[in-house]
Structure 1
Amino acid sequence: MQSALAVLFPPQCISCGEPTDADFGLCGPCWRATPFITGLVCDRCGASLPGEDEGRAEYCDDCLTLARPWQRGRAAMLYTDNGRKLVLALKHGDRLDLARPASDWLLRAARPIVTPGMLAVPVPLHWTRLLKRRFNQSAELSKALARKAGLDHCPDLLQRARRTESQDGRDRDGRFRNVAGAIRLHPRRGNLVRDRDILLIDDVMTSGATLAVAADACLGAGAASVSVLVLARVAKDA
Protein backbone atom coordinates (compact mmCIF):
# COMPACT_ATOMS: atom_id res chain seq x y z
CA MET A 1 0.00 0.00 0.00
CA GLN A 2 2.75 2.45 0.94
CA SER A 3 4.64 1.65 -2.27
CA ALA A 4 1.52 2.32 -4.31
CA LEU A 5 0.94 5.62 -2.51
CA ALA A 6 4.56 6.60 -3.13
CA VAL A 7 4.03 6.05 -6.85
CA LEU A 8 0.79 8.01 -6.89
CA PHE A 9 2.00 10.74 -4.53
CA PRO A 10 5.80 10.92 -4.69
CA PRO A 11 7.56 12.93 -1.97
CA GLN A 12 7.86 16.63 -2.71
CA CYS A 13 10.05 19.36 -1.31
CA ILE A 14 8.18 21.22 1.43
CA SER A 15 9.50 24.50 0.07
CA CYS A 16 9.36 24.39 -3.73
CA GLY A 17 7.39 21.22 -4.53
CA GLU A 18 10.15 19.52 -6.51
CA PRO A 19 10.68 15.73 -6.04
CA THR A 20 12.64 14.61 -2.97
CA ASP A 21 13.84 11.30 -1.57
CA ALA A 22 11.61 11.40 1.53
CA ASP A 23 8.42 12.99 2.80
CA PHE A 24 8.57 16.27 4.74
CA GLY A 25 12.01 17.17 3.47
CA LEU A 26 13.81 19.80 1.42
CA CYS A 27 15.28 19.22 -2.02
CA GLY A 28 19.02 19.82 -2.46
CA PRO A 29 18.77 23.40 -3.77
CA CYS A 30 16.25 24.43 -1.06
CA TRP A 31 18.38 22.84 1.65
CA ARG A 32 21.39 24.84 0.46
CA ALA A 33 19.25 27.99 0.33
CA THR A 34 18.05 27.53 3.92
CA PRO A 35 20.39 29.34 6.35
CA PHE A 36 20.66 26.74 9.11
CA ILE A 37 22.79 27.91 12.02
CA THR A 38 25.81 25.68 12.67
CA GLY A 39 29.18 25.98 14.34
CA LEU A 40 29.93 28.32 17.22
CA VAL A 41 26.90 30.19 18.58
CA CYS A 42 26.08 32.49 21.46
CA ASP A 43 25.04 30.23 24.34
CA ARG A 44 22.30 32.66 25.37
CA CYS A 45 20.57 33.66 22.14
CA GLY A 46 21.84 31.26 19.49
CA ALA A 47 23.38 33.92 17.23
CA SER A 48 26.27 32.75 15.05
CA LEU A 49 29.73 33.68 16.31
CA PRO A 50 33.09 33.71 14.54
CA GLY A 51 35.61 31.06 15.51
CA GLU A 52 35.56 27.39 16.38
CA ASP A 53 33.40 25.67 18.98
CA GLU A 54 35.81 24.63 21.73
CA GLY A 55 33.16 23.27 24.07
CA ARG A 56 32.81 26.29 26.34
CA ALA A 57 30.04 28.88 26.53
CA GLU A 58 30.59 31.98 24.40
CA TYR A 59 28.37 35.06 24.22
CA CYS A 60 27.59 37.72 21.64
CA ASP A 61 28.00 41.43 22.39
CA ASP A 62 24.25 41.87 22.97
CA CYS A 63 24.08 39.10 25.53
CA LEU A 64 27.15 40.47 27.30
CA THR A 65 25.40 43.84 27.52
CA LEU A 66 21.72 43.00 28.06
CA ALA A 67 20.41 41.33 31.20
CA ARG A 68 18.68 38.35 29.60
CA PRO A 69 16.34 36.65 32.10
CA TRP A 70 16.78 33.25 30.48
CA GLN A 71 19.80 31.01 30.93
CA ARG A 72 20.56 29.46 27.52
CA GLY A 73 19.19 29.77 23.99
CA ARG A 74 19.37 28.30 20.50
CA ALA A 75 17.97 29.00 17.03
CA ALA A 76 17.63 26.55 14.14
CA MET A 77 18.14 29.02 11.28
CA LEU A 78 18.47 32.65 10.31
CA TYR A 79 15.35 34.60 9.44
CA THR A 80 16.39 35.33 5.87
CA ASP A 81 16.15 33.78 2.41
CA ASN A 82 14.44 30.39 2.51
CA GLY A 83 14.38 30.45 6.32
CA ARG A 84 12.11 33.50 6.24
CA LYS A 85 9.99 31.92 3.52
CA LEU A 86 9.41 28.77 5.59
CA VAL A 87 8.55 30.70 8.77
CA LEU A 88 6.06 32.90 6.95
CA ALA A 89 4.50 29.87 5.26
CA LEU A 90 3.91 28.29 8.67
CA LYS A 91 2.78 31.50 10.33
CA HIS A 92 0.57 33.06 7.66
CA GLY A 93 0.17 30.38 4.99
CA ASP A 94 -1.57 27.70 7.08
CA ARG A 95 1.33 25.32 6.39
CA LEU A 96 0.94 23.31 9.59
CA ASP A 97 2.70 20.43 7.85
CA LEU A 98 5.93 22.40 8.29
CA ALA A 99 5.84 21.85 12.07
CA ARG A 100 6.96 18.26 11.54
CA PRO A 101 10.26 18.95 9.71
CA ALA A 102 10.76 22.10 11.78
CA SER A 103 10.73 19.98 14.93
CA ASP A 104 13.71 18.03 13.55
CA TRP A 105 15.62 21.26 12.93
CA LEU A 106 14.67 22.58 16.37
CA LEU A 107 15.76 19.39 18.11
CA ARG A 108 19.11 19.42 16.37
CA ALA A 109 19.70 22.99 17.54
CA ALA A 110 18.37 22.35 21.05
CA ARG A 111 20.34 19.23 21.97
CA PRO A 112 23.00 21.14 23.96
CA ILE A 113 20.39 22.88 26.13
CA VAL A 114 17.69 20.24 26.63
CA THR A 115 17.72 18.59 30.06
CA PRO A 116 15.68 15.67 31.45
CA GLY A 117 12.38 16.77 32.93
CA MET A 118 12.20 20.05 31.01
CA LEU A 119 8.76 21.48 30.33
CA ALA A 120 8.22 22.72 26.76
CA VAL A 121 6.13 25.90 26.64
CA PRO A 122 5.13 28.05 23.64
CA VAL A 123 5.05 31.82 23.63
CA PRO A 124 1.30 32.58 23.65
CA LEU A 125 -0.89 34.54 21.24
CA HIS A 126 -3.58 36.92 22.41
CA TRP A 127 -7.01 35.31 22.05
CA THR A 128 -8.06 37.77 19.36
CA ARG A 129 -5.08 36.85 17.18
CA LEU A 130 -5.64 33.17 17.91
CA LEU A 131 -9.26 33.49 16.83
CA LYS A 132 -8.21 35.15 13.57
CA ARG A 133 -5.28 32.83 12.79
CA ARG A 134 -6.97 29.69 14.20
CA PHE A 135 -3.73 28.30 15.60
CA ASN A 136 -0.62 29.40 17.48
CA GLN A 137 2.39 28.57 15.31
CA SER A 138 4.65 28.53 18.38
CA ALA A 139 2.38 25.98 20.06
CA GLU A 140 2.49 23.79 16.94
CA LEU A 141 6.28 23.91 17.03
CA SER A 142 6.49 23.22 20.78
CA LYS A 143 4.05 20.30 20.54
CA ALA A 144 6.02 18.64 17.74
CA LEU A 145 9.36 19.31 19.46
CA ALA A 146 8.15 17.99 22.83
CA ARG A 147 6.91 14.79 21.22
CA LYS A 148 10.20 14.24 19.41
CA ALA A 149 12.38 15.10 22.42
CA GLY A 150 10.26 13.23 24.98
CA LEU A 151 9.47 16.37 26.99
CA ASP A 152 6.33 17.33 28.87
CA HIS A 153 4.34 20.00 27.05
CA CYS A 154 1.98 22.65 28.39
CA PRO A 155 0.52 24.75 25.54
CA ASP A 156 -1.39 27.11 27.85
CA LEU A 157 1.10 27.66 30.67
CA LEU A 158 1.39 31.30 29.59
CA GLN A 159 -1.30 33.78 28.57
CA ARG A 160 -1.30 37.12 26.79
CA ALA A 161 -2.71 39.55 29.33
CA ARG A 162 -3.29 42.16 26.64
CA ARG A 163 -3.07 42.47 22.90
CA THR A 164 0.12 44.20 21.83
CA GLU A 165 0.76 46.12 18.65
CA SER A 166 3.03 44.64 16.00
CA GLN A 167 6.73 44.72 16.79
CA ASP A 168 7.58 45.51 13.16
CA GLY A 169 9.36 48.82 12.70
CA ARG A 170 10.17 49.32 16.39
CA ASP A 171 13.67 49.71 17.74
CA ARG A 172 14.89 47.55 20.60
CA ASP A 173 13.64 49.85 23.36
CA GLY A 174 10.29 50.21 21.63
CA ARG A 175 9.92 46.44 21.38
CA PHE A 176 10.54 46.02 25.10
CA ARG A 177 8.07 48.79 25.98
CA ASN A 178 5.44 47.30 23.68
CA VAL A 179 5.40 43.89 25.41
CA ALA A 180 6.08 44.96 29.00
CA GLY A 181 3.66 43.12 31.28
CA ALA A 182 1.87 41.50 28.35
CA ILE A 183 2.45 37.85 29.34
CA ARG A 184 1.41 36.13 32.56
CA LEU A 185 1.18 32.64 33.99
CA HIS A 186 -2.12 30.81 33.65
CA PRO A 187 -3.70 31.08 37.13
CA ARG A 188 -4.21 27.30 37.34
CA ARG A 189 -0.80 26.20 36.05
CA GLY A 190 1.49 27.33 38.87
CA ASN A 191 2.04 23.78 40.09
CA LEU A 192 3.53 22.81 36.71
CA VAL A 193 6.26 25.44 36.62
CA ARG A 194 7.55 25.51 40.19
CA ASP A 195 11.13 24.15 40.42
CA ARG A 196 11.03 23.03 36.77
CA ASP A 197 13.43 23.80 33.95
CA ILE A 198 11.37 25.54 31.26
CA LEU A 199 12.07 25.50 27.52
CA LEU A 200 10.33 28.50 25.91
CA ILE A 201 9.64 28.04 22.20
CA ASP A 202 8.81 30.71 19.61
CA ASP A 203 8.95 31.04 15.84
CA VAL A 204 11.23 34.08 15.53
CA MET A 205 13.59 36.02 17.81
CA THR A 206 14.51 39.60 16.95
CA SER A 207 15.39 41.62 20.06
CA GLY A 208 14.30 38.92 22.50
CA ALA A 209 11.75 41.26 24.13
CA THR A 210 8.80 38.85 23.96
CA LEU A 211 10.90 35.93 25.17
CA ALA A 212 12.19 38.06 28.05
CA VAL A 213 8.66 38.88 29.25
CA ALA A 214 7.67 35.22 28.98
CA ALA A 215 10.79 34.10 30.84
CA ASP A 216 10.13 36.63 33.61
CA ALA A 217 6.61 35.21 34.03
CA CYS A 218 8.01 31.69 34.43
CA LEU A 219 10.76 32.73 36.83
CA GLY A 220 8.30 34.79 38.86
CA ALA A 221 6.22 31.64 39.32
CA GLY A 222 9.19 29.70 40.69
CA ALA A 223 10.78 28.06 37.64
CA ALA A 224 14.24 26.66 38.36
CA SER A 225 15.55 27.98 35.03
CA VAL A 226 14.37 29.11 31.61
CA SER A 227 16.00 28.40 28.26
CA VAL A 228 14.73 29.59 24.88
CA LEU A 229 14.49 27.94 21.48
CA VAL A 230 13.34 29.56 18.23
CA LEU A 231 12.94 28.32 14.70
CA ALA A 232 14.58 31.44 13.25
CA ARG A 233 16.85 34.18 14.56
CA VAL A 234 16.96 37.60 12.92
CA ALA A 235 20.58 38.30 12.02
CA LYS A 236 21.90 41.04 14.25
CA ASP A 237 23.13 43.12 11.33
CA ALA A 238 19.75 42.83 9.59
Structure 2
Amino acid sequence: MDDGGQGRTNGARGIAARLAAQVSGLLFPPQCAGCGREVADPGTVCGRCWSHLRFIDRPYCAVMGTPFAHDLGENFLSAEAIADPPPFRRARAAVIHDGIPRRMIVGLKYHDQTNLAPWMAKWMVRAGGEMIADCDVIVPVPLHPLRFWSRRFNQAAELARAVARISEKPLEPEALIRVKRTRQQVGLLATERQRNVSGAFRVPQGEEIKVRGRNILLVDDVYTTGATVKAATRALMRARAASVDVLTFSRVLPDM
Protein backbone atom coordinates (compact mmCIF):
# COMPACT_ATOMS: atom_id res chain seq x y z
CA MET A 1 0.00 0.00 0.00
CA ASP A 2 1.32 3.48 -0.90
CA ASP A 3 1.66 6.28 1.66
CA GLY A 4 -1.61 7.84 0.51
CA GLY A 5 -3.50 4.59 0.98
CA GLN A 6 -1.94 4.07 4.42
CA GLY A 7 -2.89 7.63 5.40
CA ARG A 8 -6.50 7.10 4.29
CA THR A 9 -6.65 3.84 6.28
CA ASN A 10 -5.29 5.49 9.42
CA GLY A 11 -7.68 8.41 8.95
CA ALA A 12 -10.65 6.04 8.64
CA ARG A 13 -9.57 4.20 11.79
CA GLY A 14 -9.29 7.49 13.65
CA ILE A 15 -12.79 8.54 12.58
CA ALA A 16 -14.16 5.12 13.59
CA ALA A 17 -12.49 5.37 17.01
CA ARG A 18 -13.93 8.84 17.60
CA LEU A 19 -17.40 7.69 16.57
CA ALA A 20 -17.14 4.67 18.88
CA ALA A 21 -16.08 6.93 21.76
CA GLN A 22 -19.01 9.28 21.09
CA VAL A 23 -21.51 6.41 20.97
CA SER A 24 -20.02 4.95 24.18
CA GLY A 25 -20.29 8.36 25.84
CA LEU A 26 -23.97 8.58 24.91
CA LEU A 27 -24.78 5.07 26.09
CA PHE A 28 -22.55 5.15 29.19
CA PRO A 29 -21.98 8.79 30.21
CA PRO A 30 -19.00 9.27 32.55
CA GLN A 31 -19.88 9.54 36.20
CA CYS A 32 -18.26 11.35 39.11
CA ALA A 33 -15.89 9.01 40.93
CA GLY A 34 -17.26 10.32 44.21
CA CYS A 35 -21.07 10.54 43.93
CA GLY A 36 -22.02 9.12 40.53
CA ARG A 37 -23.23 12.38 38.96
CA GLU A 38 -22.63 12.79 35.24
CA VAL A 39 -19.34 14.59 34.49
CA ALA A 40 -17.51 15.65 31.34
CA ASP A 41 -14.64 13.15 31.50
CA PRO A 42 -14.37 9.62 32.90
CA GLY A 43 -12.45 9.31 36.17
CA THR A 44 -13.02 12.91 37.27
CA VAL A 45 -15.05 14.26 40.19
CA CYS A 46 -17.79 16.86 40.16
CA GLY A 47 -17.39 20.31 41.68
CA ARG A 48 -19.27 19.39 44.85
CA CYS A 49 -17.09 16.33 45.52
CA TRP A 50 -13.93 18.26 44.62
CA SER A 51 -14.63 20.67 47.47
CA HIS A 52 -14.57 17.75 49.94
CA LEU A 53 -11.17 16.40 48.86
CA ARG A 54 -8.37 16.93 51.37
CA PHE A 55 -5.14 17.27 49.40
CA ILE A 56 -1.88 16.93 51.33
CA ASP A 57 0.12 20.12 50.89
CA ARG A 58 2.94 21.78 52.80
CA PRO A 59 3.66 22.08 55.63
CA TYR A 60 4.39 18.40 56.23
CA CYS A 61 7.08 16.14 57.68
CA ALA A 62 10.14 16.18 55.42
CA VAL A 63 10.43 12.37 55.67
CA MET A 64 6.95 10.94 56.18
CA GLY A 65 4.93 13.58 54.35
CA THR A 66 2.51 13.74 57.30
CA PRO A 67 0.76 17.12 57.21
CA PHE A 68 1.30 19.62 60.04
CA ALA A 69 -1.32 22.04 61.31
CA HIS A 70 1.29 24.81 61.43
CA ASP A 71 4.52 25.53 59.56
CA LEU A 72 7.33 24.31 61.81
CA GLY A 73 10.17 24.74 59.34
CA GLU A 74 11.22 23.15 56.06
CA ASN A 75 13.10 20.15 57.54
CA PHE A 76 11.03 19.63 60.69
CA LEU A 77 10.34 15.93 61.35
CA SER A 78 7.24 14.31 62.79
CA ALA A 79 7.37 12.27 65.99
CA GLU A 80 6.85 9.14 63.85
CA ALA A 81 9.91 9.83 61.73
CA ILE A 82 12.07 10.46 64.81
CA ALA A 83 10.84 7.52 66.90
CA ASP A 84 10.82 4.94 64.07
CA PRO A 85 12.97 6.12 61.12
CA PRO A 86 11.77 4.36 57.94
CA PRO A 87 14.08 2.53 55.52
CA PHE A 88 12.90 4.75 52.65
CA ARG A 89 14.13 8.30 52.13
CA ARG A 90 10.78 10.11 51.73
CA ALA A 91 7.08 9.32 51.49
CA ARG A 92 4.41 11.45 49.85
CA ALA A 93 0.70 11.00 49.15
CA ALA A 94 -1.77 13.05 47.15
CA VAL A 95 -4.83 13.02 49.41
CA ILE A 96 -6.02 11.97 52.85
CA HIS A 97 -7.63 8.52 52.73
CA ASP A 98 -11.18 9.43 53.64
CA GLY A 99 -14.51 9.69 51.87
CA ILE A 100 -14.09 10.10 48.11
CA PRO A 101 -10.42 8.97 47.89
CA ARG A 102 -11.31 5.82 49.82
CA ARG A 103 -14.16 5.11 47.38
CA MET A 104 -11.82 5.69 44.45
CA ILE A 105 -9.31 3.19 45.88
CA VAL A 106 -12.08 0.62 46.41
CA GLY A 107 -13.38 1.19 42.87
CA LEU A 108 -9.92 0.73 41.36
CA LYS A 109 -8.89 -2.16 43.57
CA TYR A 110 -12.02 -4.28 43.80
CA HIS A 111 -14.41 -3.14 41.06
CA ASP A 112 -12.11 -3.06 38.01
CA GLN A 113 -12.44 0.71 37.56
CA THR A 114 -9.02 1.00 35.95
CA ASN A 115 -10.20 4.16 34.15
CA LEU A 116 -9.61 5.94 37.48
CA ALA A 117 -5.85 5.26 37.48
CA PRO A 118 -4.79 8.01 35.01
CA TRP A 119 -6.73 10.64 36.96
CA MET A 120 -5.44 9.45 40.31
CA ALA A 121 -1.92 9.45 38.88
CA LYS A 122 -2.23 13.13 37.95
CA TRP A 123 -2.81 13.98 41.60
CA MET A 124 0.11 11.75 42.59
CA VAL A 125 2.45 13.49 40.15
CA ARG A 126 1.46 16.80 41.67
CA ALA A 127 2.23 15.51 45.18
CA GLY A 128 5.47 13.71 44.34
CA GLY A 129 7.01 16.04 41.77
CA GLU A 130 10.31 16.43 43.62
CA MET A 131 10.73 12.69 44.12
CA ILE A 132 9.78 11.94 40.53
CA ALA A 133 12.41 14.39 39.31
CA ASP A 134 15.03 12.62 41.45
CA CYS A 135 14.15 9.03 40.54
CA ASP A 136 15.78 6.83 37.92
CA VAL A 137 13.04 4.25 37.71
CA ILE A 138 9.47 3.64 38.95
CA VAL A 139 8.61 0.30 40.59
CA PRO A 140 5.10 -0.73 41.74
CA VAL A 141 4.45 -2.73 44.90
CA PRO A 142 3.70 -6.20 43.46
CA LEU A 143 0.90 -8.65 44.19
CA HIS A 144 1.47 -12.32 44.87
CA PRO A 145 0.86 -14.31 41.64
CA LEU A 146 -2.20 -16.05 43.07
CA ARG A 147 -3.79 -12.77 44.11
CA PHE A 148 -2.90 -11.26 40.75
CA TRP A 149 -4.60 -14.19 39.03
CA SER A 150 -7.79 -13.71 41.07
CA ARG A 151 -7.90 -9.91 40.57
CA ARG A 152 -6.56 -9.93 36.98
CA PHE A 153 -4.57 -6.73 37.53
CA ASN A 154 -2.42 -4.97 40.13
CA GLN A 155 -3.81 -1.59 41.18
CA ALA A 156 -0.35 -0.35 42.22
CA ALA A 157 1.00 -1.25 38.78
CA GLU A 158 -1.87 0.61 37.09
CA LEU A 159 -1.04 3.74 39.09
CA ALA A 160 2.71 3.32 38.51
CA ARG A 161 2.17 2.90 34.76
CA ALA A 162 0.13 6.10 34.61
CA VAL A 163 2.67 8.03 36.72
CA ALA A 164 5.49 6.81 34.47
CA ARG A 165 3.56 7.81 31.34
CA ILE A 166 2.86 11.32 32.64
CA SER A 167 6.38 11.90 33.98
CA GLU A 168 8.17 10.10 31.12
CA LYS A 169 10.15 8.00 33.59
CA PRO A 170 11.02 4.32 32.99
CA LEU A 171 8.76 1.72 34.60
CA GLU A 172 10.12 -1.63 35.82
CA PRO A 173 7.15 -3.74 36.97
CA GLU A 174 9.23 -6.93 37.17
CA ALA A 175 12.04 -5.50 39.32
CA LEU A 176 10.30 -6.51 42.54
CA ILE A 177 8.20 -9.61 43.22
CA ARG A 178 6.10 -10.83 46.14
CA VAL A 179 7.30 -14.28 47.18
CA LYS A 180 5.06 -14.72 50.22
CA ARG A 181 1.28 -14.94 49.97
CA THR A 182 0.25 -12.60 52.78
CA ARG A 183 -3.09 -12.06 54.46
CA GLN A 184 -5.10 -8.98 53.58
CA GLN A 185 -3.72 -6.08 55.63
CA VAL A 186 -7.17 -4.59 56.25
CA GLY A 187 -8.18 -5.07 59.88
CA LEU A 188 -4.71 -6.01 61.14
CA LEU A 189 -2.93 -4.13 63.91
CA ALA A 190 0.34 -2.35 63.08
CA THR A 191 2.48 -5.13 64.58
CA GLU A 192 0.42 -7.77 62.77
CA ARG A 193 0.89 -5.90 59.49
CA GLN A 194 4.65 -5.89 60.00
CA ARG A 195 4.78 -9.63 60.68
CA ASN A 196 2.44 -10.30 57.78
CA VAL A 197 4.70 -8.69 55.15
CA SER A 198 8.08 -9.54 56.71
CA GLY A 199 10.18 -11.23 54.01
CA ALA A 200 7.35 -10.95 51.50
CA PHE A 201 9.33 -9.21 48.73
CA ARG A 202 12.44 -9.95 46.72
CA VAL A 203 14.30 -8.59 43.70
CA PRO A 204 14.49 -11.65 41.44
CA GLN A 205 17.76 -12.96 40.11
CA GLY A 206 18.58 -11.23 36.84
CA GLU A 207 16.61 -8.11 37.76
CA GLU A 208 19.22 -6.65 40.14
CA ILE A 209 20.70 -4.56 37.33
CA LYS A 210 17.42 -2.58 37.20
CA VAL A 211 17.81 -1.70 40.89
CA ARG A 212 21.49 -1.57 41.79
CA GLY A 213 22.79 1.97 42.25
CA ARG A 214 19.51 3.54 41.14
CA ASN A 215 17.09 5.91 42.84
CA ILE A 216 13.78 4.05 43.01
CA LEU A 217 10.30 5.53 43.21
CA LEU A 218 8.11 2.86 44.83
CA VAL A 219 4.39 3.28 44.04
CA ASP A 220 1.38 1.92 45.94
CA ASP A 221 -2.28 2.86 46.28
CA VAL A 222 -2.56 3.76 49.98
CA TYR A 223 -0.16 4.31 52.88
CA THR A 224 -1.67 3.05 56.14
CA THR A 225 0.98 2.01 58.68
CA GLY A 226 3.72 1.78 56.06
CA ALA A 227 4.40 -1.91 56.77
CA THR A 228 4.07 -2.97 53.13
CA VAL A 229 6.22 -0.24 51.58
CA LYS A 230 8.83 -0.61 54.33
CA ALA A 231 9.15 -4.35 53.61
CA ALA A 232 9.34 -3.64 49.87
CA THR A 233 11.94 -0.91 50.46
CA ARG A 234 14.14 -3.27 52.47
CA ALA A 235 14.08 -5.78 49.61
CA LEU A 236 15.12 -3.06 47.14
CA MET A 237 17.89 -1.84 49.46
CA ARG A 238 19.19 -5.41 49.87
CA ALA A 239 19.52 -5.41 46.08
CA ARG A 240 21.70 -2.28 46.51
CA ALA A 241 19.32 0.41 45.35
CA ALA A 242 20.86 3.84 45.94
CA SER A 243 17.66 5.12 47.57
CA VAL A 244 13.92 4.50 47.71
CA ASP A 245 11.15 7.09 47.83
CA VAL A 246 7.49 6.12 48.29
CA LEU A 247 4.55 7.67 46.45
CA THR A 248 0.93 6.68 47.13
CA PHE A 249 -2.43 8.02 46.06
CA SER A 250 -3.78 8.38 49.59
CA ARG A 251 -2.55 8.41 53.16
CA VAL A 252 -4.27 7.28 56.36
CA LEU A 253 -3.31 9.78 59.03
CA PRO A 254 -2.03 8.30 62.32
CA ASP A 255 -4.99 9.64 64.32
CA MET A 256 -7.68 8.46 61.89
TM-score by length of 2: 0.85
Equivalent residue pairs, number: 237
Cross-structure match for 2:5: none
CA distance in 1, matches of 2:141, 2:82: 24
Cα 1:221/1:105, change in 2 over 3 Å:
same
* Aligned counterpart in structure 2 of residue 121 of structure 1, from 139, 144, 168: 139
| CA distance in structure 2 between the partners assigned to 1:172 and 1:117 by the alignment | 29
Contact residue 42 and residue 115 of structure 2 kept, 8 A: no
- Picking from 163, 168, 171, the partner of 1:150 is 168
Aligned-residue offset at 1:41: 1.7
Distance of 1:147 and 1:116 partners within structure 2:
16
Specify which of 42, 49, 71 is matched with residue 68 of structure 2.
49
Task: Mark the structure with the bigger radius of gyration.
Answer: 2
Counterpart in the other structure of 1:164? 182
Write out aligned runs for 1:69-218 (5 A). Answer: 69-218=87-236
Contact preservation (8 Å) 2:211, 2:240:
yes
Offset at residue 232 of structure 1 (A): 0.9
Contact 1:35 / 1:82 at 8 angstroms: preserved in 2? Answer: no
The answer (yes or no) to whether the contact 1:43–1:74 under 8 Å persists in 2 is: no
Contact 1:206 1:234 in 2 (8 A): yes
The CA distance in 2 between the partners of 1:33 and 1:95, in whole Å, is: 21
Q: Secondary structure at the match of 1:153?
A: coil
**Corresponding position of 1:24:** 43
Deviation at 1:21, TM superposition (A): 4.5
Offset of 1:53 from its aligned partner? 7.5
The CA distance in 1 between the partners of 2:144 and 2:49, in whole Å, is 33
Q: How far apart, in 2, do the equivalents of 1:116 and 1:176 lie?
A: 28
Judged with a 3 Å threshold, the aligned counterparts in structure 2 of structure 1 residues 117 and 59 are, in CA distance, closer, same or farther, namely closer
State the shift of 1:33 in Å.
2.2
Contact (CA 8 Å) 2:198, 2:231: kept in 1 or not? yes
- Matched with 1:5 is 22
Contact 1:46 1:233 in 2 (8 A): no
Q: Which runs of 5+ in 1 are unaligned?
A: none
Per-residue deviation, 1:19: 3.3
CA distance in 2: counterparts of 1:11 and 1:138, whole angstroms: 23
Name which of structure 1's ranges 212-221 and 170-179 shifts more when overlaid on structure 2. Answer: 170-179
Please give the per-residue CA displacement for 1:89-108, whole angstroms capped at 9, x wherever unaligned: 11111100000101101000
Structure 2 distance, partners of 1:17, 1:98, is: 13
The 8 Å contact of residues 125 and 136 in structure 1, kept in 2 or not, is answered as: yes
Secondary structure of the structure 2 residue equivalent to 1:203: strand
* Per-residue CA distance 1:159-214 (angstroms, 9 max, x = gap): 11110112223222221111111111122211111111000000111111111111
Aligned to 2:8: none
SS for the counterpart of 1:105 is helix
Structure 1 residues 53, 195: CA separation in 2 closer, same or farther (over 3 Å shift)? same
Deviation at 1:24, TM superposition (A): 3.4
Q: Identity over aligned residues, as a percent?
A: 37
Change (3 A) 1:53 1:31: farther
Say if 2:78 is the partner of 1:60.
yes
Distance in 2 separating the partners of 1:156 and 1:232: 24
* Cα distance, 1:23 vs structure 2: 4.5
The one of 15, 29, 32 aligned to 2:34:
15
Shift of 1:83: 1.2
- Greater percentage in helix: 2
Q: Deviations over 1:114-160 (max 9, x none)?
A: 23552100001111110100000000000000110111101121111
TM-score by length of 1: 0.92
Worse-matched range after superposition: 34-43 or 70-79: 34-43
Describe the SS at the equivalent of 2:131. Answer: coil
